[in-house]
Amino acid sequence: MNVLVINAGSSSVKYQLFDMTNETVMAKGKVERIGMETAMLTHEPAGKLEIREVSEILDHTTAIRKVLRILTDPKEGVLRSLHDVHAVGHRVVHGGETFSGSVRIDEGVKQEIKRLFDLAPLHNPGALTGILAVEANLPHITQVAAFDTAFHQTMPPVSFRYPIPSVFYKKHRVRRYGFHGTSHQYVSGRVSELSGRPLDQMKMITCHIGNGASVTAIMNGKSFDTSMGLTPLEGLMMGTRSGDIDPAIVPFAMDKEDLSLNEVNSMLNRHSGLFAVSGGLGDMREIIEAAQEGDRNAQLAFDMYEYRLRKYIGAYAAAMNGFDALVFTAGVGENSALLRKTVCDRLSFLGVKLDDEANERRTGDDRIVSAADSRIEVWVIPTNEELMIARDTFREAVNETMQPST
Ligand SMILES: Nc1ncnc2c1ncn2[C@@H]1O[C@H](COP(=O)(O)OP(=O)(O)O)[C@@H](O)[C@H]1O
Ligand SMILES: CC(=O)OP(=O)(O)O
Ligand SMILES: [Mg+2]
């Protein structure tokens, strides 16, 4: 069975096509700058050279039609026809309290994703557009939604409730949901497999630090606490998101700068974080380069980012009364030896000790980077949200074919 996985953002669509008989990637790629005349499709068929194509792609339906066309292109494609796509899985960021696992998409599921737009304004609209675009191009195909929030549904109330009047929870479901769950679950599962210790006997702290960033305390294989909250804004400092701030800053800023609700939301989601502190750099690679050239604002941005991450690790060590493994993943976690070293060297009181050579080694593989005598294992695990989504999609599609037709 061939499963196509789609991760639709506001202006991009990433895709991977899996052959689920052996979980191999047949092709992957992305469409960027949707809505512009210079949109770019990058397509990487397995074992062949990458192709780049610039053209006008004004909406997600067109972007997905382009993806389907290149997958079946006689020269660059990997499928004979669209009948060879058997199911499509989507990453959906917010699933609220409704979904604690992946589900087959029907009208009700689409309505629920839409109802949650307000809580994930940077993410849920793109996901629904992706689902509708697949529907428009492949009307009868089985589609499955995998939610970033699902893995975190195991959190206890002590972690997920906010200390505000309970009417907000009872009436509006205001609580911590947590995100990047598919990634936190995947990397914790890999560490358990690789270290040969059952998940239900381990305590881990997983750091998904990419453009969006979150930390999770995983106790016995279940999410116990996580740094993102009602929306993907809480917690760590991110590329353009503030993470934790004094909530009183919101009314204060609205009052002093005469900002509307939308403006203050945009200020915290799109104009804060690394971007704000560094004075215009939202990308960790640029921050590190500028800091090394003596840019003080970039150095402060790096220091704050690292400090805030380390404080969360300390908090979760206390939350779980100790832990066995610290795991780094996503763009920064997988690639920045400097960030990992800065964090780990300052956690020596917990018994964290890096193997500097292993930490510096550049490979794209799962690897342990702690010293043999470190009390805590430190791992770098490249995340693979797409594979997790493909597995769930495959399972749902197989279940569907086994159900008696009505
Ligand atoms: N070698 C590197 N050193 C430091 N940061 C890196 C490196 N490579 C990638 N990054 C950072 O990773 C971030 C993007 O992470 P990624 O997980 O791809 O994000 P997204 O949330 O968009 O999927 C960017 O800030 C980028 O600068
Ligand atoms: C939930 C979230 O922040 O996702 P991303 O890292 O893709 O922005
Ligand atoms: Mg990401």
* 309 has pLDDT over 60: yes
CB–CB of 251/240 below 8 Å? no
Q: Is the CB of 121 under 6 A from ligand 2?
A: no
To the nearest whole number, what is the mean pLDDT of the chain?
A: 95
Question: Domain total for the chain?
Answer: 2
Q: Within a domain: residue 355?
A: yes
User: Is the C-beta atom of 211 inside 6 A of ligand 2?
Assistant: yes
pLDDT confidence of residue 318: 98
pLDDT of residue 406: 55
Q: Any idea which of 124-133, 222-231, 297-306, 334-343 has the lowest mean pLDDT?
A: 124-133
Residues 116 and 244 in one domain: no
Same domain, yes or no: 241 and 335: yes
Q: For the segment 51-91, what is each residue's pLDDT rounded down to a tens digit?
A: 999 999 998 899 999 999 999 999 999 999 999 999 999 99
- 350: number of Cβ within 10 Å: 17
Atom index in ligand 2 nearest the CA of residue 122 equals 8
- Residue 405 covered by a domain: no
Q: Which residue, by CA, sits nearest to atom 6 of ligand 1?
A: 332
* 333 C-alpha to ligand 1 centroid (Å): 8
pLDDT greater than 70 at residue 148: yes
Going by CA atoms, what residue is nearest to atom 20 of ligand 1?
211
Q: Are residues 20 and 114 in the same domain?
A: yes
Confidence of residue 123 (pLDDT cuts 50, 70, 90): confident
Residue ranges of the binding site for ATP: 14, 208-212, 283-285, 331-335
More confident residue, 402 or 139: 139
Q: Is the pLDDT of residue 405 over 70?
A: no
Q: Indicate whether 233 and 356 sit together in one domain.
A: yes
Quick one: which of 211, 115, 222 has its CA closest to 159? 222
Active-site residues, by number, are 148
User: pLDDT tens-digit profile of 233-286?
Assistant: 999 999 999 999 999 999 999 999 999 999 999 999 999 999 999 999 988 999
Does one domain contain both 28 and 127? yes
Q: State the residue range of the domain holding 300.
A: 197-385
Q: Do 137 and 209 share a domain, yes or no?
A: no
pLDDT at 30 over 90: yes
CA dihedral sign, ordered 241, 247, 249, 254: positive
Question: Where is average pLDDT lowest: 130-144, 212-226, 308-322?
Answer: 130-144
Residue 404 binned pLDDT confidence (cut-offs 50, 70, 90): confident
Is the domain of 129 the same as that of 204?
no
pTM of the entire structure? 0.94
Q: Examine the domain organization and report whether 112 and 205 are in the same domain.
A: no
Position in ligand 1 atom list of the atom nearest CA 339: 4
Query: What is the Å distance from ligand 1's center to 51 Cα?
Result: 22
* Residues in Cβ contact with 172 at an 8 Å cutoff, skipping those fewer than 6 apart: none
CATH number at residue 35: 3.30.420.40
Query: Of 403 and 377, which is predicted with more confidence?
Result: 377
ipTM: 0.97
Higher pLDDT, 211 or 391: 391
- Quote the pLDDT of residue 120: 87
Same domain, 264 and 126: no
Asked, for residue 26, whether it belongs to a domain, the answer is yes
Closest residue to atom 22 of ligand 1, CA basis: 211
Task: Work out the percent of the chain whose per-residue pLDDT is above 90.
Answer: 89
In a domain, 380, yes or no: yes
Burial call 57-81: b when 16+ CB within 10 Å, e when fewer? beebbbbbbbbbebbbeeebbbbee
173: in domain: no
Please give the pLDDT value at position 12: 85
52 assigned to some structural domain: yes
Q: According to the model, what pLDDT value does residue 9 have?
A: 77
Q: String of b and e for 189-206 (b: at least 16 CB within 10 Å)?
A: ebbbeeeeeebeebbbbb
Q: Would 162 be classed as within a structural domain? A: no
> Are 221 and 356 in a shared domain?
yes
Shared domain check, 231 and 98: no
Q: How far is the CA of 328 from the centre of ligand 3 (A)?
A: 13
* pLDDT value for 11: 78
- Per the domain annotation, does 158 fall within a domain? no
